[in-house]
Chains A and B, each alone.
Chain A
């Protein structure tokens, strides 16, 4: 599911590599979605810890190898577990997570709708 790209439009200039604007965005999107596991509540995009920096280098490497965004997430999940992704994705573990709020919204709507119908 394509994420709503509501985020920062970042213009990144790295002295070493020469990725173009679209690749930078992809890289930023990926690094913002990866959790810095030795920090307390930061993505590897935000963090400058050793771990985060190594991960960023690895993301660049995988991108230049041609891996897709999902493949890169799979790779890190295999090393560190689901915990490393900030976007919980839609899988058997997270159906309730995503659907419960929407269910609540619909139920709320139904209750309010009923209160109008009753009035008429």
Chain B
């Protein structure tokens, strides 16, 4: 009970500090010492109190303090400790507290690391960030307080949905939030810099590390979400173009494009409008995502509790930020680069522009696909679904030129370029096409489109690989990231093309056999755990070489809330995954068994890690 009180009042203190920061910033707009001492201390205090509040919530969960409404709704005494802790941010109120924690953390770190920046710039960044922070404090305290009391105190809680009790999902929110909530600092600082008209190459150098941090965590956060979906949800897929997945992908597109533009701005004084708009867009899309997911206008397995009142608050808050940004952009930003800078169509500048063009197209596909059903429903009361076929049809054809540009673009020189050593470029192209054709020639399906797609991905693969060995450590972060991307596309393509599946009904002791595989349903065990009972089905899978593998999927019944889940057993190896899942069939004594062989799954995860390590290397390079 004490934790709730301390937690609640810490939030109030944090809010008051936020408001007083407005006051101090206004009064001391030009005072350097004040910024570095008093204001910095107050920013730290705000972070401190939010952290206290957050810790109080965690403790309430650990000690199962059911007088706290949030704990009551989302926890249970029999939950394992690890999941009691991670349950803190697995609900609406707790996750908002996590938002606040990241928001206050980032502004504090920003002020600490920006000692050499102009005073006005630092103060303005603080002011814009505080607008966001105070908005969230109000939102939290008014509509989503994690410290509401219930009286009388219940003896037991309602429990956490078992599909959320998974290690990947436990750390997915914090990592993801460091990514897209972290983009708030880019938003605030770009607005500050625009107002002061100091967007320049040196500013780009300064902001680059924040863009990198946000980008690295966002990439990893999305990866974790996909890994969770694959291992835990049990349908064998890892991306469904579900609205909530899309909502994390959209800021990623904007942020990646921003990263590229910042890298250009650092060297040349161009693309300033792009940088400003993309910085605004990234955070706006993050907020918009928060709105869509928590307001109840989307249907998804990921959504939090539906509550239109909360939705309305975020909507208004979001649009205040949007209109503020639009005003600042049009009022303060004067784009005169067009008159002084010119470049040739075959140049590094143009390749970056083309990159931006494609990325914005991909962003618009995902945005329109996600949001269109809402618009259609409002305008004409028709309800439609927009699912994977839409996204695949619109994105895949465009990947081909995109991959090719990714291979050639980095080789172009600034301003004007003639491609040197065209020979090896053409050589690799021919190799890629031949190789793709060889791989695919036994398939009669869509051989043309698949060949072209695989060729482009292979081309990027070979070019980046060659560059790694020839150019050694020049631009290694870009090299690794692009290489990782080619590997990602190749892994996904091969995974799709070469996957196989067997669906059958089996009773204990029965066997299924075809020319390649034999599935034996050996036995059934029972297991009792802390918060669930399980039936474990033991299978032996024997392939055509006689090699045997044991797999044991489970059917679990959790105690609170009472939910039955099907846990797949997945054996992951370097080259492929074996995936098996069982389901009960109503009124029958057999099980429905789904066995899949999925090649290269591990490579999908590894390639995303490669992509983010490109960013990590770039981040660390500055320190050396």
Residues of A with Cβ closer than 8 Å to B?
A: 3-15, 32-33, 35, 39-43, 46-48, 50, 53, 81-88, 93-94, 96-98, 100-102, 104-105, 108-109, 112, 115-116, 118-119
- Docked-complex contact B383 and A42, CB < 8 angstroms: no
Q: What is the CA–CA distance of A104 and B389 in the complex, to the nearest angstrom?
A: 20
The size class of the interface chain B forms with chain A is: 35 or more
Question: Of B299, B303, B350, B386, which one neighbours A116 at CB under 8 angstroms?
Answer: B350
Binds A, one of B35-43, B88-96, B390-398, B478-486: B390-398
Residues of A contacting B503 in the complex (Cβ-Cβ under 8 angstroms): 12-14
- Docked-complex contact B368 and A100, CB < 8 angstroms: yes
Residues of A contacting B118 in the complex (Cβ-Cβ under 8 angstroms): none
B195 interface residue per 8 A CB criterion = no
- Docked-complex contact B501 and A82, CB < 8 angstroms: no
- Docked-complex contact A4 and B393, CB < 8 angstroms: yes
Q: What is the CA–CA distance of A94 and B592 in the complex, to the nearest angstrom?
A: 37
- Docked-complex contact A97 and B386, CB < 8 angstroms: yes
Residues of A contacting B361 in the complex (Cβ-Cβ under 8 angstroms): 101, 104-105, 108
Q: What is the CA–CA distance of A9 and B368 in the complex, to the nearest angstrom?
A: 29
Q: What is the CA–CA distance of A84 and B385 in the complex, to the nearest angstrom?
A: 7
Given contacts A40-B300, A50-B586, A87-B387, contact A12 B360 (CB under 8 A): no
Residue of B338, B344, B368, B566 contacting most chain A CB atoms (<10 Å)? B368
Q: What is the CA–CA distance of A110 and B388 in the complex, to the nearest angstrom?
A: 29
- Docked-complex contact B353 and A115, CB < 8 angstroms: yes
How many contacting A-B pairs (Cβ < 8 A)?
146
Given contacts A4-B446, A43-B387, A116-B350, contact A101 B499 (CB under 8 A): no
- Docked-complex contact A97 and B372, CB < 8 angstroms: yes
- Docked-complex contact B387 and A93, CB < 8 angstroms: no
- Docked-complex contact A88 and B300, CB < 8 angstroms: no
Least CB distance, B264 to chain A, in whole angstroms: 14
Residues of A contacting B357 in the complex (Cβ-Cβ under 8 angstroms): 105, 108-109, 112
Residues of B contacting A53 in the complex (Cβ-Cβ under 8 angstroms): 585
Given contacts A11-B501, A97-B368, A101-B394, contact A41 B300 (CB under 8 A): yes
- Docked-complex contact A104 and B390, CB < 8 angstroms: no
Q: What is the CA–CA distance of A3 and B344 in the complex, to the nearest angstrom?
A: 39
User: Could you mark each residue 342-369 of chain B with 1 if its beta carbon is under 8 Å from any beta carbon of chain A, else 0?
Assistant: 1111000010011001001100110011
- Docked-complex contact A9 and B299, CB < 8 angstroms: no
Q: Which partner residue on chain B sits nearest A25 by CB separation?
A: B445
User: Could you mark each residue 296-310 of chain B with 1 if its beta carbon is under 8 Å from any beta carbon of chain A, else 0?
Assistant: 000111110000000
* Chain B positions 425-476 with a Cβ under 8 Å from a chain A Cβ: 443, 445-446, 449-450
Q: What is the CA–CA distance of A43 and B237 in the complex, to the nearest angstrom?
A: 11
- Docked-complex contact A6 and B383, CB < 8 angstroms: no
User: Could you mark each residue 531-571 of chain B with 1 if its beta carbon is under 8 Å from any beta carbon of chain A, else 0?
Assistant: 00000000000000000000000000000000000100000
Question: Of B240, B368, B385, which one neighbours A101 at CB under 8 angstroms?
Answer: B368
B150 interface residue per 8 A CB criterion = no
Residues of A contacting B393 in the complex (Cβ-Cβ under 8 angstroms): 3-4
Q: What is the CA–CA distance of A86 and B391 in the complex, to the nearest angstrom?
A: 11
- Docked-complex contact B353 and A82, CB < 8 angstroms: no
Least CB distance, A86 to chain B, in whole angstroms: 3
The 7 tightest CB contacts between A and B, nearest first, are: A86-B387, A87-B389, A119-B342, A40-B301, A48-B583, A46-B235, A101-B365
Given contacts A82-B382, A88-B385, contact A11 B369 (CB under 8 A): no
- Docked-complex contact B345 and A116, CB < 8 angstroms: yes
Given contacts A6-B450, A83-B385, contact A13 B504 (CB under 8 A): yes
Q: Which partner residue on chain B sits nearest A39 by CB separation?
A: B301
B418 interface residue per 8 A CB criterion = no
